[in-house]
C-alpha cells in the first residue's frame, strides 16, 4: 500500500490578531472541559481494568477524545482561514468487541487523548498571558481616568514611580503607568499571535495527519 502523507504545509499565512485572540480565549474553557472528562475517564478506566469494565470506559474515553480532537481541528481551520488536512483513522470492526479492539489499536485515537490532556496546561498559560496583556494595556492607557480612586492618604502608600526612583507625585505615577500601558498595547499583537502559535502548534503536531501504514 502506498503511503499517503497528510502532514500540513510548513508555511501558514500570518495569524490575525482577532482570530488569534478568539482562538486562545475560547480554547481555555474547551481545554478545561476536555481535561476533566478525559482525566476522569482514564482514571476510572485504569482503576477498573481488573474487572474488565475499564476496557469499555477507556474505549468511551477515546471516543470523547476523538470528539474534542475534531472540535480542535475545526478551530484550527478558523484560525488559519482554510481547511487543514485530516488524519486517517483505522476503520472500526463490526460489533462492540471489534469496535473496542480497533479503537484501542489505533495510535491516532491515543494521540487525540494525549492532546486533550497536554493541551490543558498550555491553554491555561496562554489564556492567562493574553488576558493579562489586554488588562495591562487597557488599564495602563486608561489609568489617568481611574487613578484618583486609589488610596493615597496612608503615609506608607507609595506609587510605582516612587518605588523605582522616578519621582513622587501623581504626574510621575500617571506618566509611568500610562507608558507601561502603551508598551503593552504596542506589544499586544505579537504576544497574542505568539500565544496562538504555541497553542496551535501543539494541536497541529498531535492532531494533524501522518502517513497511513
Please report which confidence band the pLDDT of residue 212 belongs to, taking 50, 70 and 90 as the band edges.
very low
Q: Report the C-alpha gap between 111 and 19 in whole angstroms.
A: 26
Predicted pLDDT at 190: 96
% of the chain beyond a pLDDT of 90: 55
Least confident of 28-32, 63-67, 161-165, 173-177: 161-165
Torsion of CA 193, 194, 200, 202, to 10 degrees: 180
Q: Is 133 exposed, middle or buried (0-12, 13-18, 19+ CB in 10 A)?
A: buried
pLDDT digits over 124-181, tens only?
Answer: 999 999 999 999 999 999 988 888 777 776 666 777 777 777 767 788 888 888 999 9
Distance CA 51, CA 53 (A): 5
Cell of 212: 497511513
Q: Which band of pLDDT confidence, cut at 50, 70 and 90, is reported for residue 9?
A: very low
Amino acid at each position: 500500500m502506498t503511503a499517503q502523507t497528510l502532514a500540513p504545509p510548513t508555511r501558514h499565512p500570518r495569524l490575525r490578531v482577532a482570530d488569534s485572540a478568539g482562538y486562545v480565549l475560547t480554547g481555555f474553557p474547551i481545554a478545561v472541559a476536555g481535561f476533566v472528562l478525559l482525566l476522569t475517564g482514564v482514571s476510572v478506566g485504569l482503576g477498573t481494568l481488573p474487572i474488565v469494565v475499564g476496557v469499555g470506559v477507556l474505549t468511551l474515553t477515546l471516543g470523547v477524545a476523538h470528539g474534542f480532537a475534531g472540535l480542535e481541528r475545526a478551530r484550527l481551520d478558523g484560525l488559519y482561514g482554510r481547511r487543514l488536512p485530516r488524519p486517517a483513522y483505522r476503520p472500526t470492526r463490526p460489533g462492540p468487541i471489534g469496535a473496542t479492539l480497533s479503537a484501542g489499536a489505533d495510535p491516532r485515537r491515543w494521540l487525540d487523548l494525549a492532546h486533550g490532556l497536554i493541551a490543558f496546561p498550555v491553554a491555561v498559560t496562554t489564556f492567562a498571558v493574553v488576558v493579562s496583556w489586554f488588562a495591562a494595556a487597557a488599564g495602563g492607557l486608561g489609568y489617568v481616568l481611574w487613578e484618583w480612586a486609589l488610596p493615597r492618604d496612608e503615609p506608607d502608600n507609595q506609587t510605582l514611580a516612587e518605588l523605582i526612583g522616578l519621582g513622587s507625585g501623581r504626574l510621575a505615577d500617571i506618566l509611568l503607568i500610562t507608558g507601561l500601558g502603551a508598551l503593552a498595547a504596542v506589544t499586544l499583537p505579537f504576544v497574542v499571535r505568539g500565544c496562538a502559535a504555541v497553542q496551535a502548534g501543539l494541536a497541529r503536531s498531535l492532531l494533524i495527519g501522518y502517513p497511513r501504514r
